[in-house]
């Protein structure tokens, strides 16, 4: 019997809407925070010092994720994942409303932006493992691959679609970008509350909590397919992510203002959305590892083109390709991780995955901002793109497991890998 669509299950529909809305709100906020930080800093600082302030935004978000990751992954395997995700959405709603109020009253300052960015980092530290591990609990096993793909699509589409929403709304009425984010977070909160009780495999109760936290790291270390998929994205996006540079390009290089910033933020969203739509109707079935490696290399090339461009159409085209390539690689990576991780460990492995995603995104934004302060934004983009290509070539040699993964099922079963990790 063919697998039923995950959307046939009400709980998964609520989950999917919550995940998409939460990521749209988060990524919309982050683009606008970056723009406001750079604009406020430029009132009293030179361009290099202002670029460094953007770096601090990424660093402030990364620190709580780095510190809390072992705890949040353990909680996601121990406590009701719905409650953790809903609480995180509520905290993000409050943070967005605070920024909306300060923007509306024209009282925004750098300390306010930095404090709320830190709160967002805390909320995401708890939400990531819980939300990522929830999807496989909501559908039968035969529908799991499609559920994972749709969950990844919601996450990535939200992450790259949000900047377009935030940029256009900010160009219209600045505070409206934050009010829209607050509304999206609240929608996510409501949908998470509507999900029914979630059955899942029990976590080992006779093992010390610290040992249970370490098990997630041990599992990733011993499963080279998962390790390669996670760390490839870590290094590639850490080096080549251009999101933090968009406010600098919009203001000082392309000189297109907030309206142009909205277009630059929306371009990757369009590429990712079309790629996601393609996979919704034509799931990837062969040579998944090789194609993922190719997508990461293309991501690096597109970043170099964007960095060198002085033409708005060419810049938009490069970002479109970068968004499409990033969506491709995320779809493959998340599918490999979720399918080959046993449910009792999904929260902890998800926390490790989120830490690498945060290192590549938030810490990557910090790296981009600080590097732009040191060698200029163009140099930062070109060096980052070249680094992503170099990392891909290195992984071709160092992780043959990725090249050999022809389908998503080309690895040992989750149960076998769970036993390996527990004895590591």
Weakest mean pLDDT among 77-86, 150-159, 262-271? 150-159
The H or E element containing residue 339 is helix 312-339
Are the C-beta atoms of 96 and 185 separated by less than 8 Å? Answer: yes
Instruction: Tell me if 202 is assigned to some domain.
Output: no
pLDDT value at residue 270: 83
Domain count for the chain, please give it: 1
pLDDT value at residue 141: 73
pLDDT value at residue 215: 65
Are the C-beta atoms of 5 and 150 separated by less than 8 Å? Answer: no
Does the pLDDT at position 255 exceed 60? yes
User: How far apart, in whole angstroms, are the C-alpha atoms of residue 370 and residue 113?
Assistant: 18
Instruction: Tell me if 2 is assigned to some domain.
Output: no
User: How far apart, in whole angstroms, are the C-alpha atoms of residue 283 and residue 208?
Assistant: 40
Instruction: Tell me if 314 is assigned to some domain.
Output: yes
Instruction: Tell me if 201 is assigned to some domain.
Output: no
- The arithmetic mean of pLDDT across residues 140-168, rounded, is 77
Instruction: Tell me if 60 is assigned to some domain.
Output: yes
Does the pLDDT at position 81 exceed 90? no
pLDDT value at residue 416: 40
Cβ-based neighbour number of residue 403 at 10 Å? 16
- Give the CATH number, domain containing residue 136: 1.20.1250.20
| 49-66 per-residue burial string, b: 16 or more CB within 10 A, e: under 16 | ebbbbbbbbbbbbbbbbb
- The parent domain of residue 113 ranges over 9-196+208-422
Instruction: Tell me if 203 is assigned to some domain.
Output: no
Q: Which sign does the torsion angle of CA 171, 176, 181, 187 carry?
A: negative
pLDDT value at residue 217: 65
User: How far apart, in whole angstroms, are the C-alpha atoms of residue 127 and residue 213?
Assistant: 17
- The arithmetic mean of pLDDT across residues 42-52, rounded, is 89
Does the pLDDT at position 118 exceed 60? yes
| 86-120 per-residue burial string, b: 16 or more CB within 10 A, e: under 16 | bbbbbbbbebbbbbbbbbeeeebeeebbbebbbbb
Among residues 285, 267, 247, 266, which one has the least CA distance to residue 410?
Answer: 285
Instruction: Tell me if 72 is assigned to some domain.
Output: yes
Does the pLDDT at position 109 exceed 70? yes
Does the pLDDT at position 269 exceed 70? yes
210 falls in which pLDDT band (50, 70, 90)? low
- The arithmetic mean of pLDDT across residues 158-175, rounded, is 85
pLDDT value at residue 418: 40
Weakest mean pLDDT among 60-64, 91-95, 178-182, 223-227? 223-227
Q: What is the CA radius of gyration of the chain?
A: 20
Among residues 349, 321, 322, which one has the least CA distance to residue 418?
Answer: 349
Are the C-beta atoms of 114 and 196 separated by less than 8 Å? Answer: no
Instruction: Tell me if 232 is assigned to some domain.
Output: yes
pLDDT, tens only, 356-376? 666 667 777 888 888 999 999
User: How far apart, in whole angstroms, are the C-alpha atoms of residue 158 and residue 272?
Assistant: 9
3-state SS class at 6: helix
420 falls in which pLDDT band (50, 70, 90)? very low
What mean pLDDT is reported for the chain?
A: 83
Q: What pTM does this model have?
A: 0.74
pLDDT, tens only, 222-236? 777 778 877 887 788
Does the pLDDT at position 52 exceed 50? yes
Output helix, strand, coil percentages for the chain, rounded to the nearest 5. Answer: 85, 0, 15
């Amino acid at each position: 019997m063919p697998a039923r669509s995950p959307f046939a299950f009400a709980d998964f529909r609520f989950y999917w809407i919550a995940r998409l809305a939460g990521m749209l709100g988060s990524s919309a906020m982050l683009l606008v925070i970056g723009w406001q930080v750079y604009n406020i800093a430029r009132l009293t600082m030179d361009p290099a010092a202002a670029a460094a302030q953007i770096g601090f935004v990424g660093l402030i978000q990364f620190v709580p994720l780095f510190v809390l990751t072992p705890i949040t992954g353990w909680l996601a395997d121990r406590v009701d994942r719905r409650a953790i995700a809903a609480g995180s959405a509520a905290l993000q709603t409050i943070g967005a409303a605070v920024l909306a109020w300060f923007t509306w009253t024209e009282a925004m300052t750098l300390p306010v932006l930095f404090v709320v960015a830190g709160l967002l980092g805390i909320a995401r530290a708890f939400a990531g493992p819980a939300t990522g591990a929830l999807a496989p609990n909501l559908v039968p096993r035969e529908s799991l691959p499609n559920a994972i793909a749709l969950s990844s699509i919601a996450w990535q589409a939200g992450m790259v679609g949000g900047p377009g929403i935030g940029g256009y709304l900010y160009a219209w009425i600045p505070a409206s970008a934050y009010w829209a984010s607050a509304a999206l977070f609240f929608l996510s909160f409501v949908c998470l509350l509507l999900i029914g009780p979630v059955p899942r495999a029990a976590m080992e109760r006779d093992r010390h909590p610290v040992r249970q936290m370490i098990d997630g790291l041990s599992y990733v270390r011993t499963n080279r397919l998962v390790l390669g998929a996670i760390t490839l994205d870590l290094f590639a996006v850490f080096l080549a992510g251009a999101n933090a540079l968009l406010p600098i390009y919009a203001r000082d290089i392309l000189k297109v203002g907030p309206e142009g910033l909205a277009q630059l933020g929306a371009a990757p969203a369009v590429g990712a959305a079309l790629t996601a739509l393609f996979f919704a109707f034509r799931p990837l079935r062969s040579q998944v590892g090789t194609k993922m490696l190719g997508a990461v290399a293309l991501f690096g090339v597109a970043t170099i083109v964007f960095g060198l461009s002085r033409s708005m159409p060419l810049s938009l085209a490069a970002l479109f390709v970068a968004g499409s390539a990033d969506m491709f690689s995320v779809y493959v990576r998340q599918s490999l991780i979720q399918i080959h991780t046993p449910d009792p460990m999904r929260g902890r492995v998800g926390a490790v995955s989120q830490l690498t995603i945060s290192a590549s995104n938030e810490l990557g934004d910090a790296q981009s901002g600080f590097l732009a302060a040191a060698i200029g934004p163009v140099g930062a983009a070109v060096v980052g793109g070249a680094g992503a290509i170099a990392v891909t070539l290195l992984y071709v040699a160092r992780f043959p497991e990725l090249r050999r993964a022809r389908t998503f099922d080309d690895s040992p079963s989750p149960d076998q890998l769970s036993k390996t990790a527990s004895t590591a």
